[in-house]
Amino acid sequence: MIILVNLREKPYDLNDEDIAWVTETIAGMSLEEKIGQLFCLIGYSSDEQYLQDIALHYKAGGLMCRPMAAKETVRAVQTLQRHAKIPMLIAANLEKGGSGIVEEGTTIGSVMQVAATGDDEMAYKLGVVCGREGSAVGCNWSFAPIIDIDYNFRNPITNTRTFGSDPDRVRRMGIQYVKGVQENGVAASIKHFPGDGVDERDQHLVESINSLSCEEWDATYGTVYKACIDAGAMTVMVGHILQPAYSRKLNPTLADKDILPASLSYELVTKLLKEQLGFNGLVVTDASTMAGMMISMPRSQAVPQAIAAGCDMFLFSRSLEEDFGYMKKGIEDGVITEQRLNEAVTRILGLKAALQLHKKQAAGSLSPSLEAAMKVLGAEEHRQWAVECADKAVTIVKEEDGVLPIHPDKYKRVLFYDIESQQGYAYSARTGACEQFKELLIREGFEVDTFEAIPGTEGMLTSQSAVLGKYDLIVYVANMVTKSNQTVVRIEWKQPMGANVPTFMTSIPTIFISVENPYHLLDAPRVRTYINAYNSNDHVLQAVVDKLMGRSEFKGTSPVDAFCGMWDTRL
C-alpha cells in the first residue's frame, strides 16, 4: 500500500513508536471505522445520547464544539473521549480567544483588531491564549488562523475576521498565531484555502471566487500559505471557493462548467496544495452544510468527491445517516480508492499521534478537569493582554481639529445615535454594545439623550431647532458585524427619509465610532471624526472612551483602506 504522506516529516515529526501506533491502528480498523474517521461532526451541548452515538455508532474522527459554558464543554469532551475507541480531535473556532469554545474564555479581540495594533507579538499572544484556554477544556484543534486577505471591502465574511489587506502582514501574523497555538498543544488550521476576500459573495450561500491570476495568487495568497506551511501549520481548511486560473493551469482540459470549488477540486487540493505547496498535513473541508458545496453537483456525489479530491476530513453533515451512506457508497463505487482512503486515515491518525492523543488516552489524561480548566480560563495574564490589544488597536481614521478630547465641561449635552445589528446565527454582533457605550458616557458625567425618529413625511420631520442649540456633541456608535447569510453589511438608515443620517455635522461636532465593521465611511463619508475599534468587547469600549477623553493616545493603524477607495470619504 502506497501512502502519499511522510509521518516523519513536518508537521507530524513522528518517531518510530508513534508511527507504529498509526500503522497498527489502521491495520486493525474495519471499513466502517475508517469511514467514521473521515468525519468531524458538530456539538452544541453535552447531550449524553447524541455524543455517545457520535463516538460509538458513527465512530467519528472528531467533533467541533460551538461555544458553551465551560461545564458543558468539559462534560461533552469527557463523554466523547470516554466512549471513543480512537481518541477524537476536538475542534473550535478559536479565532478571537478562548471564548471561541467556552463562554468563560478570554476574548483577546477580533483578528483585524490584533492587526491594527501593528504588533506581530500580539498575534502570537492571541495564539497562546487560544492554545492554553482551548486545551484546558479538551480542545486540540483550532480552526484558525484565518489567513484570508481582505481585498474587497464589500466581502460579507472576511472583514474583521482577517489580518487586513496587506499580504505581508497576514503572512507575519498568521505565522505567529500558528506558533502560539501549536506550542500549547493545539493544532492550527490555516483557512480558507485558496483564499477568501477577493469577491463579495458568501460561500455559505454560493460558491465564491478567487479571481486572481496564477502569478497574482502566487505573490499573495500563495506566499502566505507557503509561509504558514513552512512554519509547521498542522492542518488546512479548504473553502468552497473557486480559483479558476489555477484550476485551468493544472488541468487545461477543464470546461468552465467543470471548474469546482476547492473543497471538491483535485486540481486545487491535491495538485496545488499538497504537491506544489508541499503540504504534508491534514486537509479538512469547510462546513459541508454550506450551499457553496452543494451547487456544483448532487450531495450524493459531493460527499465522496471531497475525499477523492484530496480532503482528508469532511466537516459536519446535513443528515448523519445519509452522509455516512454517501461516503460508503463512494468507496464501494471506487470514487474514493483504497489508497486515497488509507492516505486520508493515515493523515488523521498522524495528527492525533503528533498531538500525543494516543499516549494521553493510555495514561488516562485525555479528558479535561473542570476545576483545572477554570484556573486557566480568563486568567489575569490573558485579561491584561486583552486590555493591551484594545489599547493598541483603536484607530482614529479621521479627526476634525478641536473636537477631541471630549469632556462634560466642554460638551455637556450629547445626542446619541445607536446603530446596531440584530443577533445572527454565527459570526454575529454582540448586541447591547451601543447601550453599554452610552452608559460609559453617562458615568463620565455627560447628559446623553438617545435619538428617536419621529414618524412622518415632508413637513412633519424633526425640526432643526429640536437639535441645534440643544446639544453640544453628537456621538454615533455603529455595532454592525459581518455574519453568515447576510450578504451586505451596510447601514440601513431609519425612516422617515434617513432620519438618523449625519446631517448636523457642519453645525455640531460629530464623532462616529464603529466597534465592528471598519468600512462605515462608505455610508457616512463626510463625517469629520471617525474611529474604528474592530470589536465590541468590554475592554475595547472602555479603551475608546479613554481615548475620547484624552486619557490615552490613539495608537492603532488601519489594516485596510477604511476610505473604501472613495474620494469623498476623505473629506
Please give the positions annotated as active site: 286
Residue 92 DSSP class: E
Task: In whole angstroms, give the CA distance from residue 117 to residue 97.
Answer: 16
- 3-state SS string for 531-545: EECCCCCHHHHHHHH
CA separation for the pair 369, 21 (Å, rounded): 26
Alpha helices in 355-475 (DSSP H): 357-363, 370-374, 380-393, 433-443
Residue with cell 483588531: 113
**What is the Cα–Cα distance from 285 to 193, expressed in whole angstroms?**
9
Q: Are 353 and 21 in contact (CB under 8 A)?
A: yes
Residue with cell 447628559: 447
Instruction: Take residue 237 and report the three cell numbers written for it.
Output: 481548511
- CA geometry: angle at 160 spanning 521 and 431, to 5°? 85
| Three cell numbers written together for 335 | 470514487
C-alpha grid cell, residue 4: 502519499
402 close to 113: Cβ distance less than 8 angstroms: no
Q: What is the dihedral of CA 566, 567, 570, 571, to 10 degrees?
A: -140
Neighbours of 301 (CB within 10 A): 17
Residue 76 vs residues 63, 99, 115, 140, 285: alpha-carbon distances, Å = 10, 16, 33, 14, 23
**Burial letters for 228-258: b for 16+ Cβ neighbours within 10 Å, e otherwise?**
bbebbbbbbbbbbbbbebbbbebeeebeeee
Alpha helices in 99-222 (DSSP H): 111-116, 120-136, 167-182, 214-217
DSSP, collapsed to helix, strand or coil, labels residue 510 as strand
Task: Tell me whether strands 473-479 and 510-514 are parallel, antiparallel or unpaired.
Answer: parallel
Helices then strands, counting H and E runs in the chain, come out as 19, 16
